[in-house]
A and B are shown apart, each in its own frame.
Chain A
Amino acid sequence: MSRLRAHELTLAYDRHVVARDLSVEIADGGFTAIVGPNACGKSTLLRALARMLKPRDGTVLLDGAAIGSLPTRDVAKQIGLLPQSATAPDGITVSDLVARGRHPHQSLFRPWSKEDARAVREAMEQTDVVPLADRPVDELSGGQRQRVWLAMALAQETPLLLLDEPTTFLDIAHQLEVLDLCADLHERGRTLVAVLHDLNHACRYATQLIAMRDGEIVAQGAPADIVDAALVESVFGLRCSVVPDPEMGAPMIVPAARRARRPAQSSSRIQSPARSQ
């Protein structure tokens, strides 16, 4: 079953069509990772699922109703979002920032309740930021800050949670910390959708993958079922071998040696690795 699904979406910024004919079903209780090369439209798909981008064509459905026709506040009680670019106001403390996640549950005449306090406390416990509660957010490290933003999204207490590149700008240990946290949330019953850059991380943590290239979906399914050398080559244009990872047995991508990759590289659009210079 899928509470959240997209039906034949065409997504565009102005006249520039980014993606065409996307149909996805987000598995309830699953951890779905959207993967693909840079500019393949994966963040755009997430923005459409989060009703931040109105599709040119097609519809995003939440519980069978077009998401654009639902009151945005009601949607905010079902779908939480961890955006890529969020700014903490100057000097705001961790607990204050997390408390702002309660916005959709509050109103002018019900500004703050015990229920809100409980949700904020639980969100901070789950993300392990209780000891930071009174610290200003701008003094925290990147990893801590990401946990705080995640806590804010959790305080919203939504069954579905969308995360746009939650691990970007973090070092490997903090990336895994955030992904572990996501796995915990998933085990406790939330439905997660995350745009992830690292295919190995996606294979290891996600229960479902959506692989995209050039605005189209190349494959959908469980990592073990769909990830093989042919898929990685068709999505990323990268020659590799796929082996079971020694810890978990999930598919692990090992890029082919430089010499073996050369012909493929020259004929495809591959993101240039940051360390090339």
Chain B
Amino acid sequence: MIGLVHPRAIVVGGTLLIGCAALLIVAIGTGEFAMSPGEVLSGLAGSDPAASFIVRDLRLPRALCAVLAGAALGISGAIFQSLTRNPLGSPDIVGFTYGAGVGALVVITVFGGSGTVVSAGALAAGTITALAVYVLAFTRGGVSGHRLVLVGIAISALALALIDFLLARARIEDAQEATRWLLGSLNTRGWEDVWPLLGGFIVLAPALAVAGRPLRALELGDDAAHGLGVRVERARLGLVLLSVALVSGVAVAVGPVLFVALTAPQIARRVAHSPGPALVLSALTGAALVLAADVAAQRLVPSTPLPVGVMTGAFGGVYLAWLLARGWRRAAT
């Protein structure tokens, strides 16, 4: 079977979509006042005013934030991993996330800022970090994936050290606030957090549709991509910018949600047996991961809701470790 879309990818995509919908209903039913799926649906439909308030005004925005953030991280990770031809080449590893953390921390601990100022600081610092990594990884022949990952790891280590330094110097309340930000949380997310995420998606969607094509050629190596008529440097810069825009949107809206960008594309690729940047599948996998992590975070310790970042790390890490171990064992036998 040749062509752009494999039947298996369609089946997997459909399953993921249904899974996301089911998780969305479970997520909305989760909270201090638990609701059955039936109650959630009638709340969504608006037939029961009390349920409708809880579902539409309180819990739906939080769940939608999880879906959008997960999808953005999944796509961003898929782009980065394809560009760097390295499963470790996720925006988490390549410095953006920790750079954004430094920006947020500086605002919180040094200037005592909060809210949008923290977001702005994170965005600015994250973008500067990403640009620094790109410039440092630039050689005469362009940017190689390997260098990007190595430079990214070095810059991340530097940013982590800065984060520790800032935390150690901070007042205890500021440090608490900063730590909450560093873990990424969906608690107290409302519609005002959904709109910017959704808007960002709508703005970036056409760019993603255009950029996905050269990505398939770039995967074959720069020379092959050249031969196929891709303007390699321009395409790569555009893709990096897109990927960073997606992660920064998430970092600003919900804080850094670790590991999703790293694991979602890997899981999508393995489940679908599809090579290459399966952007749609990665987006769905990312959304399902963040939703599931948020439900688990709320249900495991109902008294003190864990930040979703803790759960995505645990979830994604365990699943990826299991997948890799299984793959290696198979390869060994």
A contact residues vs B (CB 8 Å cutoff)? 13-14, 50-52, 72-77, 79-93, 95-101, 103-104, 106, 108, 111-112, 116-117, 120-121, 133-134, 152-153, 156, 162, 164
Contacts and interface: CB of A to CB of B under 8 A. Distances in A.
B229 A90 contact: no
B276 interface: yes
B150 interface: no
A81 B281 CA distance: 31
B210 A76 contact: no
7 contacts: A51-B226, A87-B85, A89-B219, A90-B275, A111-B4, A112-B4, A152-B224
A153 B1 contact: no
For the complex of A and B, the 5 pairs showing the least CB-CB separation, nearest first, are A76-B229, A81-B227, A83-B223, A92-B275, A73-B229
A122 to B, nearest CB: 12
Interface of B: 1-4, 82, 85, 140, 209-210, 213, 216-217, 219-221, 223-224, 226-231, 269, 273, 275-276
B220 A88 contact: yes
Given A83-B221, A88-B220, A89-B275, A156 B228 contact: yes
Contacts of A86: 220-221, 223-224
Given A52-B227, A99-B2, A103-B217, 6 more contacts: A91-B275, A96-B275, A100-B217, A100-B228, A120-B2, A121-B2
Nearest to B3: A112
Contacts of B273: 91
A224 to B, nearest CB: 32
Contacts of A80: 227
For the residues of A in contact with B, the DSSP-based class is: mixed
A116 B262 CA distance: 33
For the residues of B in contact with A, the DSSP-based class is: loop
A248 B231 CA distance: 43
Contact of B226 (A52, A84, A121): A52
Contacts of A79: 227
Nearest to B276: A89
Nearest to A162: B227
A52 B223 contact: yes
Contacts of B269: 90-91
Nearest to B141: A13
Contact of A81 (B3, B140, B223): B223
Contacts, number: 100
A103 B216 contact: yes
B205 to A, nearest CB: 12
A117 B2 contact: yes
A72 B4 contact: no
Report which residue of B4, B210, B217, B227 has the largest number of chain A beta carbons within 10 angstroms of its beta carbon.
Answer: B227
Given A80-B227, A89-B276, A100-B228, A106 B220 contact: no
Contacts of B216: 100, 103
A77 B229 CA distance: 8
Contacts of B3: 99, 112, 116-117
A162 B213 CA distance: 23
Contacts of A116: 3
Contact of A104 (B1, B4, B229): B229
A98 B219 CA distance: 13
Report which residue of A14, A87, A108, A133 has the largest number of chain B beta carbons within 10 angstroms of its beta carbon.
Answer: A87
B213 A108 contact: yes
A103 B229 contact: yes
B121 to A, nearest CB: 37
Contacts of A99: 2-4
A108 B4 CA distance: 12
A88 B275 CA distance: 9
A87 B2 contact: no
Nearest to B1: A95
Nearest to B227: A81
B230 A103 contact: yes
Report which residue of A52, A103, A153, A162 has the largest number of chain B beta carbons within 10 angstroms of its beta carbon.
Answer: A103
